[in-house]
Structure 1
């Protein structure tokens, strides 16, 4: 995505169309990475790259608050809870932490906290509790009278996932607290992790069994807690350390450190690495010490958490809408290691963008092995000066995909003949169509063969199944690839073996120079997705590497993807016929249910450029049907709050393409919902009214309050301005409430919000006048 660097406009000036386009793309991009990290436990970029995206997003919103929406990832803590587990509300909100990346940022934060405390509590100097930032999964444990009654993930901070049954399998976590005088109710916050040594041992058992090893300890912990079968969680070597308290009744320790001593006495696991210090220099010494020995600890870390220890002082400092002012996370600089750049290849994305990426000699960095790194575009490759065959420095901040910093120039000596300059392809690596810039001046090249390019089709089909679109279980990237391009990973003929013949003879038997004949993909266009049946995918096979004693052999064999392999008797008769796998049956059940998804999700699934959840909700609310959206002119679309000229132009351009129109028509013919049901019982009481909801409401989740406003014709805004009509303030309302009071806006509680929804704004406007 091209970043706008010339639009660093001062607050108060109108955002340019280019900046609006950048902002819309950023919102969708950051939201996608939040889902990948928090809900799917499959991060797509490094922590450092993600932090840069969020930093840019916050900068734009600070300079242009009119662009900020309720959908913005900056308005959320963590990620929305997964629908695979029952939602559960925390008794007290779980906050995120402000991230600090340099000693100067740490000093600024420290001085601000000390100055603020001095202003509110003159003469008091804070003591600081320091603890390692565990790279795991945040958890909240609820004890009543000493009994563990519930465990929940952080989710969006207000609502998490109920994972009680899985957490009960972790030996470190007591089902009943030891000792006496337990509180009537106690929320204990902590981090579940997989110890480093246990992770290595567990991965080795997977390799020995011929299974794919887990990516890193953080993903291992998160994935283990989200197992649907607690017995599988019980097989994982998980641990937990406590790092805080939530709601409590009957327990009032004076400090965080005192609380830890009490919790430890009750049998809860407390980190052995905490420290109490008094000065900034002591904080810095602690940071330096653990940065040097970060790989010699019980668990992976990505930094240090710094907290004011005294609870009364914490309360005085308070919170913003997202983070506490009394705590922050100092992130260590990303690690750097050297490895060999084996190749540079290209990835073709959903919109046709062709992105080079580095193929690396496998190397372990920050606790996990990596083999790929993004290179963004051909200009970045040139700027870094890397050659294929170079030894390169890579940097990694705790996730799976590292960043290539540049070549190790001294290692080139005597190896010049082995090195090769990277030449960006002139044609698409997936379909051989001539590449071209998306628009004049773009450094990113795109494949214009959107309809037939198999790589773009695979990405679009996977996007249809994603949580942000139609949310189709079992339609991930691997399934999309099997449907659209099953031969993509077809190895060379000499690497192919006939598995059955090999098993019978005991030695590898090749499939012949031709191997199996090339497959015709089941899907040549996503238009046919909802017309498929299990019978249509019966013969789809993919290529999998054969392993012996858990080790790869370099030989590949075909394997049915959607159906089971038939079993034969010795006389040649069928003992057990091939049948759809459980995942395949689930896929088709989910495809059927997806037809009834609301219109806004269908719009997202169509992969219209710039049209993400925010714009889709605005469009579906304004028009209610695909037919009306399709008929609207560009000016009319641009006038919709949440759409604007860039998105409006993209929509009109999309519907001018014949195959796009056929796609919509075929989905409609297959029964996909193209019109939202009008609830005649819901009055349009908020036409033209802008409402901002801040804090936690008892009767509404964040999405439910937004839907309640939108379905009544109102605008659910994410930021407060002078044009805001009403602000609804729930528990823990933050800076938005302060801003509403500053502007003299009407502020409603939840009961008054219900009255506004049911009866409209007249009563409150008269009261305000």
Structure 2
């Protein structure tokens, strides 16, 4: 067999494997190999095709990257028009639609079966397959004529370039929606902001803009996906129901909605609409309603069409989430860390069934990006429980007296100076300082707004969990001068509390009992309750689990903290600065003196014993021109940090492949006493903590649920869901908020709803509370 024959066979095999992996990943949601294995196969195929360019074909998976830019889109005439759907906005509209369908079919009192699926908010497209090959992609356009976007649709990863399986017609036109998932949209906008580019207002605009790029390579870089929902022209025999056709599509490698379901009659349609509406915000993509279609194709033909829409389908839309209103003013609120946040005051407007009069503007960089001025007509959006946000400005409506938004020079609460934060990026031997997006009041706990937010956070359920200490009570305590720091909560007396508005003898004793009951928090809860900037619940848990004691966390140097997973240098500096602050140390000391006793303190976790290495320490010192390979050679040559610090020029010349520039840089670095002292201090702390490379290694006891993902849903009678989560995490499990194919087990209590249904659909293991308690008893015992 010749090399060319071998290449032909291997290329065919690789294409077949990659197509199968794509099908299992995008259509079945059952990935068959890790990403690294998929990438290896893809690289091998790309390399073989580079060696044998004559073997490259248009349907190869490597050809999705996009070719040369187009000068313009050609036009495509749809032989079967791509009609729009009629809309239902109220329940009565859906009832009327069902009545018209039954009348049109002559069903007196009969029930019609409908197909139900979410209405994706993207761009409608037509995909034409001939003999299983994708030959054309087109936009909907005006329904009769669209634009030829074949080069662009070929770059969308979940669109098969060749149909999977068998049995497809020789000519098949697939109708579908190309959309951008929420996660991809957020990542795209984040990247655009990072590069100083323009962001998209919403995923629909992002998808439409991506598909209409003249350069397909730009489209290829965007996170687009297809969901097939219908059929156009075909010359074959297909199933006799709409759902049957879509299931056939799935077998041929075309992705369809995982929410596709039948419904008998209008009441089941309403139930579907309500269920999807409740789950709307947890879906990974944006939807703006539900599409109902008569399921039997023969009945669709019988009902026919109006001028612009089919009589057998309707889109039941959700209430609008975007509206236009007027920006009346911008006020500034002060947060727990002193951040000054602009808040838009709006002319009240109904958005998604709720009256909206305020919206977040995040920070002044966002104000500048939007170009918003007081008096502007703006587009406001509301999604679920998320605070409404301003998406854009209608510039042509700007009034002549519009005013710019200006940051106050003094805190609106305490009058202290307002300063803009600085961003410090630390690199090899230098620090780059730039202006941050956040402005802060420098008044700290002397500022009542910061003090109130700090105490509210300290008492919150996930922190110290002081039941009954709500926002209004905290405000009274601070306004009356009874609480000047979180530590003062533990000095409150019966006589002080009963004088507060709304308190009597029983409620006073209950609050005092709740404060007393909070005195024995876990170390993780206590760290989270302190309100360290950039330290959320998960980082607090990591610090507690890894370092094991408050004393070690308080003393930890930033470089030492970076040996913990997911702790970067900037967060490490925030933690270190917090515990260096004299006021913070005083508050912690008072808390411990007034009865707060930390639970579960202990030794350094075995996972981090001897975790550090000398080359890593050298690398973390950011010595100019000393990369990780140079650090490894220095460590191998000298064996200790002290020897490296003392090494002279002749000693350094003996290090294999260490350049003269690197050797001089190292000598210059350690000739500065503060650098040598800092390095030795880091090493001493690593040794003290037991993280030093010469420290004793300890066996790590495997946690029984390590690597598993669990979901809690419904009501647990013997404990709260938070308590259940904590116990699972102590056993090594990750506790997620939604069910997916990767979920290991779902604990379902009374009232479990959509998560339980999702687990059933995916075949995920489900246990009740009794089985959960038995398992915890076995694993914790």
TM over 0.5: no
Query: Scaled by the length of structure 1, what TM-score is found?
Result: 0.36
* Greater C-alpha radius of gyration: 2
Query: Scaled by the length of structure 2, what TM-score is found?
Result: 0.35
Whose helix proportion is higher, 1 or 2? Answer: 2
